[in-house]
Amino acid sequence: MIEIRHHTFGQPIIILEFDDSQEVIIYNDKLDSIFNHPEIQDRKVVILSLIGAFRGGKSFFLDYCLRFLYAHFPSINNPNKVTSFIFKKDDTWMGEPDEPLTGFSWRSGTKRDTTGIIMWSDVFLHTIDRTGEKIAIFVMDTQGLFDNDSTAESNSKIFALGTLIPSIQVLNIKGIIQENQLEYLQFATEYAINSAMDIVNKKAFQSLTFLMRDWDNNDEYKYGIDGGSQYLKQLLKPRRNENKKLQSVRKSLSSSFDQTRCCLLPHPGRVVASNGTYDGSWFEMDVDFKNELKSSIEDMLISTNMVIKKINSKEVTGKEMKDYIQKYFEIFQSSNTMRVLNIYESTVELYMNNIIEKCLNDYKLRMFENKDLIGNDNNIVHDSCKAKGLEMYDKQRKIGSLEYQKSCKTILFKKIDGIYEEFETFAEHEEQLKAALDKELQEKEELK
């Protein structure tokens, strides 16, 4: 038996799960350790995630994605093994033919996983040749969806989070697309439509791939990406006399994602699908499946197809992403009935607070630079620094209702004045101090 060479550098980490009474438990410390790692916090992020019904081969697929990533990119826990991205056209990245599959736990048994979101603890590092931009690549798994024990509520929460968090979202579907899966997807993307009102001509989410498993209609639509895109085209084509629900799903999909893709995978063969002792190695897969698995992963993860995560059209860093995820989690934890608007509102709030902070810092910095003048021409310095700070605010791209944007400007206004008051009392104190010192000196003088 060949030694396991992959995946010894990381482990699955649960960041959110539902307990037996379907309460959300979040692990902020885990989230923090993954996203706030010093090497990652300032990098732009790429997040790959698979979502779909349980026992659909999601974790299995992701573990082969991990093999691809380990073979092509350095990572936090394995920084020296690979130094730069060189795409290996052959199948060496898939590992030895009989290498057991490790990584996210995948199973051939029937034991139920808890419902939740799991991140791979190791994070891949990449520098884009073209731009020199440094990015961090995260892998996220979801589990326990649509099994007998999960409720509609936990399903919709996981589904919405699985849409909000990744930049590369993969919807794993076994057999045919079921309507309830699309409904969940639509529900999650309604958030996008809400926010899209502010972002003219910009889509809220980035990449959605339908990954069709056990595809058995190879005559009509060929396996792989090409057959997939033809299938998707006819699936999303509006039809006469169809029900309203499907119509609106179609509309929301195309208005929410920058790109939608589809990939058709054949049935993996009897051993993979049913053998309880199967260890995940690729030599036991049907050869068609193995080839399509390989090319679909290559297509998804080749560096030119990396999609950097954007929120409200702005690329986010690891640190920022952590804040957003934490905010989303809190909302999902506190609300019984999902309110899509909640998420939208708090995203706007977080985004606008960052702008206020930025302008406030600009003001402070200018005041500090002119601190020698403070005390003499306080008002003039303050007025000009304040004007610059507000000018900066006007130049930022803002989101939220116009009313809310106005109220943010008022907040900035007040905050600046508040800081100015501090400056002033400081100056006053200085006067008093000086007066006291002078008095003291004078008294000493008199005593002599």
Residues that bind ligand GDP (CB under 6 A): 54-60, 106-108, 143, 213-214, 265, 268, 272-273, 278
Is residue 59 near Mg ion by the rule CB under 5 A? yes
Minimum distance from residue 278 beta carbon to ligand GDP (Å) = 6
**Which of the listed partners (Mg ion, ligand GDP, none) does 273 bind, with a CB threshold of 5 to 8 Å by partner kind?**
ligand GDP
Rg (CA), the chain: 27
Nearest residue (CB) to ligand GDP, 154 versus 252: 154
Q: Which is nearer to ligand GDP, 145 or 168 (CB)?
A: 145
Distance linking the first and last C-alpha atoms of the chain = 97
Q: In degrees, to the nearest 5, what angle opens at C-alpha 415 toward C-alphas 413 and 418? A: 110
Residue 67, SS3? helix
- CB environment 304-329: b (16+ within 10 A), e (fewer): eebbbbbbbeeebbbbbbbbbbbbbb
Residue 56 CB, shortest distance to Mg ion, in Å, is: 8
Residue 273 or 411 with smaller CB distance to ligand GDP: 273
Q: CA separation (Å) from 26 to 32, 107, 327, 334? A: 11, 24, 11, 11
CB of 106 to ligand GDP, least distance (A): 3
Please give the residue whose beta carbon sits closest to ligand GDP in the complex.
Answer: 57
Smallest gap from Cβ 328 to Mg ion, in A, equals 21
The residues near 344 (Cβ < 8 Å, ≥ 6 apart) are 191, 194, 195
- 115, 141, 128: which is closest to 22 by C-alpha? 115
167 binds, among ligand GDP, Mg ion, none (CB under 5 to 8 A by kind): none
Q: Which of the listed partners (ligand GDP, Mg ion, none) does 56 bind, with a CB threshold of 5 to 8 Å by partner kind?
A: ligand GDP
**Residue with the shortest CB distance to Mg ion:** 59
Smallest CA-to-CA distance from 268 within 335, 214, 223, 204 is with 214
Nearer to ligand GDP, 14 or 273 (CB): 273
Identify which of residues 59 and 303 has a Cβ nearer to Mg ion in the complex. 59
In angstroms, rounded to a whole number, what is the distance separating the alpha carbons of residues 284 and 290? 9
Comparing CB distances to Mg ion, the nearer of 59 and 256 is 59
Footprint on residues 85-144 left by Mg ion (CB under 5 A): 143
* Chain contacts with Mg ion (rule: CB under 5 A): 59, 143
